Amino acid sequence: MSNPAEYLLNFFQLNSRDQHRWPLRPLLEACNAIDDDLATRNQLGASTDSFRKVTQYVGTALYEKATKDLQRIETAGTGGRCTIDGPLRDLLGVLATQITPRAILNDEASACVVSLIQSVKETIRIDSSLPNELKFYMLQTITSLELELDKTALYGDFSVEDALMRLFGLIRRAEETSEKPEAWRKVWVDWGIPIVQGMIVNTPQFLLGAASLLAITS
User: In this predicted model, which residue has the larger pLDDT, 126 or 40?
Assistant: 126
Measured N-to-C along each axis, helices 24-43 and 161-177 cross at an angle, to the nearest 10 degrees, of 30
Q: How confident is the model at residue 18 (pLDDT cuts 50, 70, 90)?
A: confident
Lowest mean per-residue pLDDT among 120-124, 147-151, 180-184, 204-208: 204-208
Residues 136 and 142: their CA atoms lie apart, in Å, by: 10
Say what the alpha-carbon torsion angle 181, 131, 190, 215 is, to the nearest 10 degrees: -70
* Residue in 52, 122, 129 with CA at minimum distance from that of residue 91: 52
pLDDT in tens, 159-200: 566 788 789 889 989 999 999 999 999 999 899 888 877 664
**In which band, very low, low, confident or very high, does the pLDDT at 156 lie, cut at 50, 70 and 90?**
low
pTM value? 0.50
List the chain domain ranges. 4-98, 104-217
Determine which helix (DSSP H) or strand (DSSP E) holds 23, and give its type and residue range. Answer: none
- Tell me the pLDDT of the chain averaged across its residues: 75
Q: How many residues does the chain have?
A: 218
pLDDT of residue 154: 66
